[in-house]
Chain A
Amino acid sequence: MVSEKALLSKLSPEDMPATEVSQRKTLLWKIARHLGAMAALVLLGGLLSATLVRLAPGFDSDERELDPRLNAESVQALRQSRAGEHKIFSFYAGYLRGALHGDLGVSHALGQPVQALLSERWPVTLRVAGVGLLLAWLLGATLAFTACLWQRPIYEIFGTTVSGVFLCIPAAALALLSVILNKPGYLAVALIVFPKIYRYSRNMLAKAYALPHITAARARGLGEVRILAWHVLPIAGPQMIALAGITVSVALGASIPVEALCGLPGIGQLAWQAALSRDLPLLVNLTVLVTLVTLLANSGADVMNYVLRPHDA
Chain B
Amino acid sequence: MNVARKLACAVVVAVCAVSLAANWLAPEGYAKQFRETPNAPPSHQHWLGTDDVGRDRFARVLYGTRISLLLAPAAALISTALAVLVGGLAGYLGGIWLRLARGFTDLFLSLPWLFLLITVRALLPLNVSPMVSVLITFFVLGVLGWAASARVLSTSADGLRNSDFILQARASGLHGPRLFFVHVLPNLKPVLYAQFWISIPVFILSEANLGILGLGVAEPMPSWGSLLRELEGLISFREEPWKLAPLLLLIVVMTSFQLLLSNEEVTA
Direct contact between A and B in the complex (CB less than 8 angstroms)? yes
Interface of A is mostly: helix
- With both beta carbons as reference points, the residue of chain B lying nearest to A292 in the complex is identified as B110
A41-B103, A41-B107, A239-B191 are known; give 9 further A-B pairs, CB within 8 A.
A41-B106, A52-B116, A168-B201, A173-B228, A195-B198, A200-B149, A203-B194, A290-B110, A295-B106
Task: Name the distance in Å between B261's Cβ and chain A's nearest Cβ.
Answer: 10
B150-202: which residues lie under 8 A (CB-CB) from chain A?
Answer: 151-152, 154-156, 159, 187, 189-191, 193-194, 197-198, 201-202
User: Does B70 sit at the interface, judged by CB under 8 A?
Assistant: no
Quick one: CB contact mask for A200-228 with B, threshold 8 Å, 1 for yes? 10111011011000000000000000000
Contacts known (A48-B107, A56-B119, A239-B156); A210 close to B266, Cβ less than 8 A: yes
The stretch among A9-17, A109-117, A244-252 that forms the contact with chain B is A244-252
User: Does A93 sit at the interface, judged by CB under 8 A?
Assistant: no
Pairs A–B under 8 Å by Cβ, sample size 15: A48-B107, A55-B119, A56-B115, A160-B258, A168-B205, A168-B247, A169-B247, A170-B231, A176-B234, A196-B194, A275-B114, A294-B109, A298-B102, A298-B151, A305-B155
- With both beta carbons as reference points, the residue of chain B lying nearest to A210 in the complex is identified as B266
Task: Name the distance in Å between A172's Cβ and chain B's nearest Cβ.
Answer: 5
Cα(A309)–Cα(B163), bound, Å: 12
Interface residues of B (CB under 8 A from A): 1, 4, 99, 102-103, 105-107, 109-116, 118-119, 121-122, 148-149, 151-152, 154-156, 159, 187, 189-191, 193-194, 197-198, 201-202, 204-205, 208-209, 228-229, 231-232, 234-235, 247, 250-251, 254-255, 258-259, 262, 265-268
**Which residues of A lie under 8 Å from residue B1 when comparing CB positions?**
153, 156
Contacts known (A57-B119, A168-B201); A242 close to B155, Cβ less than 8 A: yes
Question: Are A170 and B208 interface neighbours, CB within 8 A?
Answer: yes
Question: Are B118 and A58 interface neighbours, CB within 8 A?
Answer: yes
Contacts known (A57-B119, A153-B1); A173 close to B231, Cβ less than 8 A: yes
**Which residues of A lie under 8 Å from residue B187 when comparing CB positions?**
207
Interface residues of A (CB under 8 A from B): 37, 41, 44-45, 48-49, 52-53, 55-58, 153, 156-157, 160-161, 164-165, 167-173, 176-177, 180, 195-196, 199-200, 202-204, 206-207, 209-210, 238-239, 241-243, 245-246, 249-250, 271, 275, 283, 286-287, 290-291, 294-295, 298, 301-302, 305, 309
Q: Which of B99, B105, B193, B259 contacts A160 (CB 8 A)?
A: B259
Cα(A302)–Cα(B99), bound, Å: 11
Question: Are A243 and B262 interface neighbours, CB within 8 A?
Answer: no
Contacts known (A206-B190, A245-B151, A294-B110); A168 close to B102, Cβ less than 8 A: no
**Which residues of B lie under 8 Å from residue A286 when comparing CB positions?**
112
Q: Which of B112, B148, B234 contacts A52 (CB 8 A)?
A: B112
Question: Are A37 and B99 interface neighbours, CB within 8 A?
Answer: yes
Question: Are A169 and B231 interface neighbours, CB within 8 A?
Answer: yes
